């Protein structure tokens, strides 16, 4: 009987690929193990075993696998079920999911390595110049990779040169698979096995009396092992014995000591003993009880609790129960880097049972967390992570908490899989028969709608902890202020007055501006020209700090021109404003205050964000200017005033969720003010103080906002009333993409009629030299989503079979909001 496996390859193939295996391999291999397999002419990939069977593929001859890479599965059955769900629901391949799900260190790299042929001596005079360069380089280095060779020759396509070198017998080529992850090793020592007998040890110590330093090291080794009863680190031994690492090395060479390594975790919690969790107040107690009750009937509960109502303390109680019962907890956060404070809070309660999974962590650190979760280790009882942590190998989940569930960063936009971590978490929990708790002060309309439809349970918490008052919100009409000349730069007189008062009290201020950079657009006052990105359909953004113009879409940059590039006039003006400009103005207006800025530009690097947060906590900053980042669940004792510099650019954003998002953003930023007994103040500057959303923000009226927005969604057929799939086509030739998108939309209309919108050019229609066209398919609740997707896939396949359209990239985005 023949044996075969179907494997998932980390590339976007529509189908799984089948390989043939021996019967010995068949009895060893299990679903979820990795194998190295050949693919195409010369590539080697890491594949994940999905299926083991006896059916030969019909259309191609199955190749043999090259190597088995694991002893036991690294991915479990529930994960594979989740991958499959993601691939179906979000219309992507299993390979796409695999790439997103596994730490990159698990996906072995295949790189061609060129080495000198040592067997044959060749006459160098037969080599052409470029061949000789490579051949000579191999005198100095034992092997070269393809990209090294490209660098040496300064050209891309080097395969022909290599091919000629092989034909001349000068070099050979091998395909090398290697693993990137190297666990950090700590050196330990113990007494060599030679001295395990009493007698041998006695003799040794006698001999040692002539080498007192070495003897001291040995004696210290004994005493450390006796007291700690743990393996002894070389570093500890050096320190304790006062000896040198040279002495230890000598002892190892003499085979008196033996050196060995134990893999240790890179990420270690070094805190004090754990705190006991807080006693809940009556409102929290009631909410906790309601959540627990709801879990008896519902799988998903939405906890809608105003900012600072103490939701986190409720989560802590639930987590305690779940880990007590021996199960794992996943605590999802929008971007974990942004919530150091929460990490600390949870570590205070749960110590090193908390594992953190985080995009700023290194590959090594991620692999460690992965393995701890896989082993159900006590170090990963609670995983605190950003969206990709839903892919960790949980085997015993009891609860998933999705904190700040309304946050947009739970959705992955690019590349595929374009999944939403909150919605995927609900599915994951169901696979584990676990519960999901969604929490927010400003729930997304879709979650609240699900609660209203009784799909989710709803628990509300309307009191702030300690009865701290909701901030006092004042709307400032800057149109009027401009007319009456009451503005200094972007600061109204009201804002200036309030800032001065708060500074005098020694309290802190946060100024929120929805844009980074100094001023998004530079415009010539003479001819009106503004410099554009050569690759994208956008104006370049001025960054004062570097005196540069930069594109926020592709990273293109140039130094700020002295004169207009179109007409040569030196009269350049900046339109719009960003965080950098607010920071500048604040420094001028309040010269004695310490002003800092927090945005993507100032928080790069692993600890960039933490540094600013700490400075604010330690009151080294008086005024902090920042973007969205400021809204993420931070808890500052001394912030008394929050200023929103301009509410209108959020409200006017061309997106059906702009109003919902503005509400969420403003309520969340306001929540940063006055989290202690003293009442906080929020000033919102706007050209349109009668805007409904601003009224709803100023009265913290979520219900009104919800009802009004839902009405719009209903009338204009938007989510959550309708489902939505966005199809984007991209090509560098405008006519090609236009023609292709018209074909595509027409085919969709044959199935779905008027529910298809477009094709349309998006507001920024060219990015990285690719023209974009969007088509939107709206799907009523009663229309089958899976049938709709089947139809789209059919159309997509016919599309791809048209020769002219083959080079057009198609992106399917389910729930594209």
Phi, psi (degrees; rounded to nearest 5) at 274 = -70, 145
What's the residue count for the chain?
A: 817
Name which of ligand ADP, Zn ion, none residue 533 binds, using a CB cut-off of 5 to 8 Å depending on partner kind.
Answer: Zn ion
Distance CA 566, CA 527 (A): 8
Count CB atoms within 10 A of the CB of residue 208: 18
Q: What x-and-dash track marks residues 24-63 binding ligand ADP by CB under 6 A?
A: ----------------------------------------
Kind plus residue range of the DSSP H or E element containing 4: strand 3-8
Shortest CB 279 distance to ligand ADP, Å? 6
Which listed residue (96, 130, 313, 660) binds ligand ADP by CB under 6 A?
313
State which residue, 284 or 328, has the beta carbon closest to ligand ADP.
Answer: 284
Asked if 310 touches ligand ADP (CB under 6 A), the answer is: yes
Distance CA 362, CA 353 (A): 20
Asked if 312 touches ligand ADP (CB under 6 A), the answer is: yes
Asked if 565 touches Zn ion (CB under 5 A), the answer is: no
Name which of ligand ADP, Zn ion, none residue 567 binds, using a CB cut-off of 5 to 8 Å depending on partner kind.
Answer: Zn ion
Shortest CB 790 distance to Zn ion, Å? 37
Q: What x-and-dash track marks residues 249-288 binding ligand ADP by CB under 6 A?
A: -----------------------------xxxx--x----
Phi, psi (degrees; rounded to nearest 5) at 2 = -95, 150
Asked if 39 touches Zn ion (CB under 5 A), the answer is: no
Q: Which residues contact 467 (CB under 8 A, 6 or more apart)?
A: none
Shortest CB 598 distance to ligand ADP, Å? 19
User: What are the distances in angstroms from CA 445 to CA 317, 436, 455, 613, 693?
Assistant: 27, 18, 13, 30, 14
State which residue, 237 or 629, has the beta carbon closest to ligand ADP.
Answer: 629
Distance CA 389, CA 383 (A): 8
Pairing of strands 232-233, 185-191: antiparallel
Asked if 243 touches ligand ADP (CB under 6 A), the answer is: no
For residue 813, the cross-strand partners are 726
Shortest CB 382 distance to ligand ADP, Å? 16
Shortest CB 516 distance to ligand ADP, Å? 26
For residue 759, cis peptide bond before it (omega within 30 degrees of 0): yes
The answer to whether the CB of 576 falls within 8 A of the CB of 520 is yes
Asked if 465 touches ligand ADP (CB under 6 A), the answer is: yes
* Residue 555 structure tokens: 């990273």
Name which of ligand ADP, Zn ion, none residue 39 binds, using a CB cut-off of 5 to 8 Å depending on partner kind.
Answer: none
Pairing of strands 257-263, 572-575: unpaired
Asked if 347 touches ligand ADP (CB under 6 A), the answer is: no
Shortest CB 559 distance to Zn ion, Å? 16
Shortest CB 730 distance to ligand ADP, Å? 41
Which listed residue (18, 294, 308, 353) binds ligand ADP by CB under 6 A?
308
Nearest-5° angle of CA 805, CA 807, CA 810? 80
State which residue, 275 or 375, has the beta carbon closest to ligand ADP.
Answer: 275
Q: What x-and-dash track marks residues 568-607 binding Zn ion by CB under 5 A?
A: -x--------------------------------------
Q: How many chain residues touch ligand ADP (CB under 6 A)?
A: 15
Q: How many chain residues touch Zn ion (CB under 5 A)?
A: 15
State which residue, 305 or 759, has the beta carbon closest to ligand ADP.
Answer: 305
State which residue, 284 or 539, has the beta carbon closest to ligand ADP.
Answer: 284
State which residue, 305 or 758, has the beta carbon closest to ligand ADP.
Answer: 305
Q: What x-and-dash track marks residues 616-655 binding ligand ADP by CB under 6 A?
A: -------------------x--------------------
Distance CA 223, CA 229 (A): 10
Rg (CA), the chain: 31
For residue 545, the cross-strand partners are none
State which residue, 284 or 579, has the beta carbon closest to ligand ADP.
Answer: 284
Shortest CB 290 distance to ligand ADP, Å? 15
State which residue, 307 or 724, has the beta carbon closest to ligand ADP.
Answer: 307
Asked if 764 touches Zn ion (CB under 5 A), the answer is: no
Distance CA 201, CA 206 (A): 9
Shortest CB 275 distance to ligand ADP, Å? 11
Shortest CB 543 distance to ligand ADP, Å? 34
State which residue, 447 or 816, has the beta carbon closest to ligand ADP.
Answer: 447
Distance CA 347, CA 354 (A): 6
Distance CA 745, CA 754 (A): 11
Distance CA 682, CA 700 (A): 12
Which listed residue (3, 99, 311, 481) binds ligand ADP by CB under 6 A?
311
Kind plus residue range of the DSSP H or E element containing 697: helix 692-698
Q: Is 328 helix (H, G, I), strand (E, B) or coil?
A: strand
Asked if 162 touches Zn ion (CB under 5 A), the answer is: no
| Helix locations, 484-532, DSSP H | 493-504
Distance CA 672, CA 184 (A): 40
Name which of Zn ion, ligand ADP, none residue 312 binds, using a CB cut-off of 5 to 8 Å depending on partner kind.
Answer: ligand ADP
Distance CA 367, CA 49 (A): 20
Distance CA 8, CA 94 (A): 6
Please, which of residues 519-548 interact with Zn ion by CB under 5 A? 524, 526-527, 529, 533, 535-536
| Helix locations, 229-356, DSSP H | 234-241, 245-253, 282-297, 311-324, 340-350
Asked if 558 touches Zn ion (CB under 5 A), the answer is: no
The answer to whether the CB of 107 falls within 8 A of the CB of 36 is no
| DSSP letters for 378-390 | GGGSEEEE-GGGG
State which residue, 635 or 760, has the beta carbon closest to ligand ADP.
Answer: 635
List of residues contacting Zn ion (CB under 5 A): 524, 526-527, 529, 533, 535-536, 551, 553-554, 556, 564, 566-567, 569
List of residues contacting ligand ADP (CB under 6 A): 278-281, 284, 305, 307-313, 465, 635
């Amino acid at each position: 009987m023949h044996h075969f496996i179907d494997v998932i390859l980390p590339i976007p193939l529509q189908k799984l690929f089948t390989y043939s295996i021996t019967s010995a391999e068949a009895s060893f291999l299990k679903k979820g193990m990795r194998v190295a397999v050949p693919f195409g002419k010369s590539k080697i990939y890491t594949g994940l075993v999905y299926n083991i069977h006896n059916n030969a593929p019909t259309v191609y001859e199955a190749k043999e696998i090259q190597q088995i890479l694991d002893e036991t599965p690294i991915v479990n059955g529930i994960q594979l079920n989740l991958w499959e769900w993601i691939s179906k629901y979000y219309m992507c391949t299993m390979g796409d999911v695999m790439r997103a799900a596994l730490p990159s260190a698990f996906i072995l790299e295949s790189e061609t390595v060129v080495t000198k042929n040592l067997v044959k001596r060749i006459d160098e005079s037969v080599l052409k110049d470029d061949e000789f360069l490579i051949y000579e380089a191999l005198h100095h280095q034992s092997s070269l990779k393809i990209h090294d060779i490209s660098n040496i020759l300064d050209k891309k396509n080097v395969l022909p040169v290599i091919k000629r070198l092989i034909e001349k017998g000068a070099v050979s080529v091998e395909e090398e698979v290697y693993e990137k992850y190297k666990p950090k090793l700590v050196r330990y020592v113990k007494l060599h096995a030679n001295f395990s007998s009493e007698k041998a040890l006695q003799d040794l110590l006698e001999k040692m009396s002539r080498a007192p330093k070495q003897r001291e090291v040995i004696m210290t080794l004994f005493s450390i092992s006796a007291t700690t009863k743990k393996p002894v680190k070389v570093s500890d031994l050096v320190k304790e014995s006062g000896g040198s690492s040279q002495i230890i090395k000598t002892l190892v060479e003499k085979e008196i000591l033996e050196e060995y390594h134990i893999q240790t975790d890179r990420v270690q919690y070094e805190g004090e003993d754990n705190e006991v969790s807080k006693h809940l107040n009556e409102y929290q107690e009631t909410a906790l009880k309601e959540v627990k009750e709801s879990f008896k009937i519902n799988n998903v509960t939405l906890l809608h609790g105003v900012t600072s109502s103490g939701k986190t303390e409720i989560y802590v109680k639930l987590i305690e129960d779940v880990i007590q019962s021996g199960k794992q907890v996943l605590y999802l956060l929008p971007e974990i880097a942004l919530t150091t404070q929460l990490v600390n809070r949870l570590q205070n309660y749960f110590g090193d049972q908390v594992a953190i999974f985080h995009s700023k962590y290194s590959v090594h650190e991620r692999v460690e967390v992965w393995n701890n979760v896989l082993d159900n280790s006590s170090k990963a009882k609670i995983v605190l992570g950003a969206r990709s942590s839903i892919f960790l190998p949980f085997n015993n989940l009891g609860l998933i908490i999705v904190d700040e569930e309304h946050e947009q960063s739970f959705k992955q936009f690019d590349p595929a899989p374009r999944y939403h971590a909150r919605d995927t978490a609900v599915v994951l929990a169901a696979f584990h028969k676990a519960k999901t708790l969604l929490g927010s002060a400003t729930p997304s309309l879709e979650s609240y709608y699900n609660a209203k439809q009784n799909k989710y349970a709803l628990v509300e918490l309307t009191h702030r902890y300690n009865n701290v008052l909701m901030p006092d919100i004042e709307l400032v009409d800057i149109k009027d202020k401009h007319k009456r000349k009451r503005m200094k730069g972007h600061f109204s007189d009201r804002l200036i007055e309030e800032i001065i008062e708060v500074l005098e009290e020694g309290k802190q201020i946060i100024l929120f501006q929805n844009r980074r950079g100094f001023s998004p657009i530079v415009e010539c006052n003479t001819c009106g020209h503004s410099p554009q990105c050569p690759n994208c359909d956008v104006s370049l953004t001025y960054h004062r700090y570097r005196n540069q113009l930069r594109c926020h879409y592709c990273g293109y940059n140039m130094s700020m021109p002295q004169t207009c590039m179109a007409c040569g006039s030196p009269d350049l003006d900046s339109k719009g404003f960003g965080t950098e400009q607010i920071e500048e103005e604040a420094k001028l207006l309040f010269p004695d205050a310490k002003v800092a800025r927090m945005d993507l530009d100032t928080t790069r690097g692993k600890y960039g964000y933490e540094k600013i947060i700490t400075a604010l906590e330690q009151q080294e900053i008086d005024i902090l200017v920042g973007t969205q980042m400021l809204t993420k669940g931070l808890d500052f004792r001394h912030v008394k005033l929050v200023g929103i510099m301009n509410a209108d650019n959020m409200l006017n954003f061309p997106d059906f969720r702009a109003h919902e998002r503005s509400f969420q953003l403003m309520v969340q930023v306001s929540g940063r003010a006055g989290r202690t007994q003293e009442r906080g103040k929020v000033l919102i500057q706007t050209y349109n103080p009668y805007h409904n959303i601003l009224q709803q923000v100023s009265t913290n009226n979520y219900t009104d906002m919800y009802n009004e927005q839902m009405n719009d969604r209903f009338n204009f057929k938007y989510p959550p009333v309708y489902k939505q799939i966005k199809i984007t086509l991209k090509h560098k030739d405008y006519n090609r993409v236009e023609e292709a998108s018209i074909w595509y939309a027409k085919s969709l209309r044959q199935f779905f009629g008027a529910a298809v919108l477009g094709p349309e050019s998006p507001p920024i229609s060219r990015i990285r030299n690719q023209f974009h066209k969007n088509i939107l398919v709206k799907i009523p609740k009663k229309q089958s989503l899976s049938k709709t997707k089947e139809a789209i896939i059919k159309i997509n396949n016919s599309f791809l079979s048209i020769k002219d359209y083959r080079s057009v990239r198609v992106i399917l985005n389910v729930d594209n909001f």
